[in-house]
Homo-oligomer: A and B are copies of this chain.
């Protein structure tokens, strides 16, 4: 493992001092070098394949060019991995790398993880949640530039990037309305989280726009609790859909809290002899391609902007640290509709 070549090697090979090499390679103003020297140094640095030692540079500059990415379970939740992807790519564009820490939701692990990141002199931290929720910024992060991802803080001064749940819900329901539906069931998670309230608000807004009064009987909350965590899974979707579809006035369309619950709705519909989309239209949320394309007919759904959240979060963080221009705020990103095959006009009576 041949020793990596350092600035000294370049200086020696070029017959100048390390100072000069540094000045030239960093394009320092005011400290000019003759064109000839400059070219020679650059050529030799190139030939030798010189690259500055990141640790030494970081030590001197007090900037490590790396940011911490700390999350509870992001790496676990399928689509959420795209947050990391977006963050990584946006960071790489500025020569910044991501230092990954996953806590599994354990507070002690989180505390230690943050300590480790700070010890590595990260320039800032992205604090990401597995699903959109309100969080407290950990104490030991207070004095470090931090941006929340898929999470928001009560403290309005803490920048964050989250999906626009209201717009997402509105878009989904509007899509159904545009196909002629007026009696639309809403299946939500039985949990007090922003996604539930936001999407419900969007649902109400879209209906109100076309003069359909809100009917509480069309809203069903269901969830499955496993090991203390509440899930909107296939089983929950199945139960919710059964309740809605066997009630007095059957809705002609369902807006489901997520794609897995939509899969449950598919099953309930099949059992009841309802064909999708002819007898029943369905819209999901999340756009988990694995689900939405595995079920038949392919599911029309609303996409969470995971990749974009990662990008925006990094952009905000780098703005915070002065690497990039830009403003820093609590930001909401739109959730676009992905139309597939589960929506059609309501059946003729």
**In the bound complex, how far is the Cα of B192 from the Cα of A133, in angstroms?**
44
Task: Determine which of B92, B267, B293, B296 lies in contact with A113 in the assembled complex, contact meaning CB atoms within 8 Å.
Answer: B92
Can you name the residue of chain B whose Cβ is closest to the Cβ of A145? B1
Complex Cα distance, B99 from A277, in Å, reads 46
The answer to whether B84 and A75 have CB atoms under 8 Å apart is yes
Query: With a CB–CB cut-off of 8 A, which chain B residues contact A76?
Result: 81-82, 85
Q: How many residues of A contact B (CB 8 A)?
A: 58
By the criterion CB–CB under 8 Å, are A100 and B102 in contact? no
Confirm or deny: A22 has a beta carbon within 8 angstroms of a beta carbon on chain B: no
A101 to B260 Cα, complex, angstroms: 31
Q: Is the CB of B98 within 8 A of A100?
A: yes
List A284-301 residues whose CB lies under 8 Å from chain B: 288, 290-291, 293-296
Asked if A230 lies at the interface with its beta carbon under 8 angstroms from chain B, I say no
Q: A99, B101: Cβ atoms under 8 Å?
A: no
A25 within 8 A of B: no
| Complexed CA–CA distance, A81 and B76 (Å) | 6
Instruction: State A295–B299 Cα separation when bound (angstroms).
Output: 13
* Complex contact A85–B58 (CB within 8 A): no
Q: Within A243-268, which residues are at the interface with B (CB < 8 Å)?
A: 259-260, 263, 266-267
Q: Are B118 and A51 in contact (CB under 8 A)?
A: yes
User: How would residues 1 to 24 of chain A score, 1 for a CB under 8 Å from any chain B CB and 0 otherwise?
Assistant: 110100000000000000000000
Query: A250 → chain B, closest Cβ, in Å?
Result: 21
Q: Tell me the nearest residue of chain B to A290, going by C-beta.
A: B290
A180 in the interface (beta carbon within 8 A): no
Residues of the B chain whose Cβ atoms lie less than 8 Å from the Cβ of A121: 53-55
The docked-state distance in angstroms from the alpha carbon of A265 to that of B149 is: 38
Q: Do A120 and B79 form a contact, CB below 8 Å, given A1-B143, A144-B1, A294-B291? A: no
What 0/1 pattern do residues 48 to 63 of A give for CB contact below 8 A with B?
A: 0001111110110000
Nearest-Cβ distance from residue A348 to partner chain B, whole angstroms: 26
Instruction: Give the residue among A54, A58, A64, A234 with the most B Cβ atoms within 10 A.
Output: A54
Given contacts A55-B59, A81-B84, A233-B293, 10 further A-B contacts (CB under 8 A): A1-B143, A53-B59, A54-B119, A55-B58, A55-B64, A69-B100, A75-B84, A75-B85, A98-B100, A288-B290
